[in-house]
Amino acid sequence: MPSSFRDLRVWQEAMKLASEIYRTTAAFPRHELYGLSQQMRRAVVSVPSNIAEGKGHRSNREFTHFLLHARGSLLELQTQMLIAEDLQYLSKERMQKLGEQADRIARGLNGLINSIGEKAA
């Protein structure tokens, strides 16, 4: 297993998604500055942050706990993206691109969670 959180592919992908969400929400209507755009930014920042924090803990159990939090934040973000698409703040094309990124991260988180679980067993 990589020694640093920076070496984790899922963390790297989550960082890219965070940048994309920040750029995307910058174009949202001004009245959403403290609404949906802020919620999306908090959720997306939580994903790589929880991965990094979990990697810093000593046990696989604690790491898994933080990975589960990261996955929960990702699911929260995906829900918010659907709301943004429904409100037409995101185009279908943009939603598809962001959705594909989020799906890759979800698969990576699930794989890492399963891998850690197998090592603990």
Give tens-digit pLDDT for 41-94: 999 999 999 999 999 988 999 999 999 999 999 999 999 999 999 999 999 999
pLDDT at 82: 98
CA atoms of 120 and 67, how far apart (whole Å): 15
pLDDT at 117: 80
- Is 2 a residue whose pLDDT tops 80? no
Length of the chain equals: 121
Closest of 17, 6, 14, 41 to residue 94, by C-alpha: 17
Angle made by CA atoms 101, 102, 105, in degrees to the nearest 5: 90
Domain boundaries, the chain: 5-120
pLDDT at 1: 54
How confident is the model over 11-41, as pLDDT tens digits? Answer: 999 999 999 999 999 999 999 989 999 999 9
Q: Is the dihedral of CA 106, 96, 81, 36 positive or negative?
A: positive
Q: If one looks up domain 5-120 in CATH, what number appears?
A: 1.20.1440.60
